[in-house]
Amino acid sequence: MALGTDYARQDCSLARALEAIGERWTLLILRDCFFGVRRFTDLQDHLDISKAVLTQRLSTLVDTGLLEKSGGHKHGEYTLTEDAIALWPAMFALIKWGEQRWSPRGPRRIFSHAVCETDIATSGQCPTCGTIPPPGELQIRPGPGADPSVRSDPVSVALRSPRLLLQPLPVQR
C-alpha cells in the first residue's frame, strides 16, 4: 500500500495541492487556524490528536509555507500565511459539501458576511452585496446542526459565540 505523501508522476495541480494539505489531520488543523486557534495546546484539545502527530503536521505546514510560527517554544502561536488563506474557497466548499451530505439538521456552523450582516450562500457569495467575501470578512456562529453535547473542550466552548474568522480566539482555561 502506497503510504508516501507525494504524487510525483501526476502532472496536476490537484496532486500538488494534496501533497501540501492531503495528510490526515492537516485540513482540520488549518480549519482551526481559520477559526482563530493559534496555540499548540488549543489545537491539541480541540482535535484530540497525539502531540507527536500535531508536532509533525505543524512542522510540515511551517516548512511548506502555510503556517508561520511566532513566539517561543511554550507560548508559540501559529498563524496562516497568505498562501494558506488562499485555500479558503476550497475549505469552505468542502465544509458545505460535508454539510449537504451529513448534516440533516442543517449546518453546524453558519457563515455570514459581517459588513452586510447576511448569511453567505453555498457558492460563497453574499446575497446582499454579491461579492465572494474573503475569510477575514466572515463571521461564524453555531447553526441548527451543532450539537453542544458532543464536545466541551475550551476551544469548542469559545466557538459557541459568534466570531470573525482569522481573529485570535479567546480560549478560557
Rounded least distance, CB 167 to its own copies, Å: 19
Residue 75 or 129 having the CB closest to its own copies = 129
Rounded least distance, CB 77 to its own copies, Å: 22
The residue length of the chain stands at 173
Among residues 159, 171, 133, the alpha carbon closest in space to that of 35 is found at: 159
Residue 74 or 150 having the CB closest to its own copies = 150
Residue 69 or 151 having the CB closest to its own copies = 151
Question: Given the rule CB under 8 A, which residues bind its own copies?
Answer: 1-3, 5, 7, 9-18, 20, 22, 24-25, 27-28, 31, 47-50, 52-53, 83, 86-87, 89-103, 107-109, 123-124, 132, 145-147, 150-151, 156
Distance, CA of 16 to CA of 105 (rounded, Å):
35
Sign of CA dihedral 95, 156, 24, 7: positive
Q: Which residues contact 89 (CB under 8 A, 6 or more apart)?
A: 124, 132
Q: Is 93 left (phi over 0), alpha (psi -120 to 50) or beta?
A: alpha
Rounded least distance, CB 168 to its own copies, Å: 20
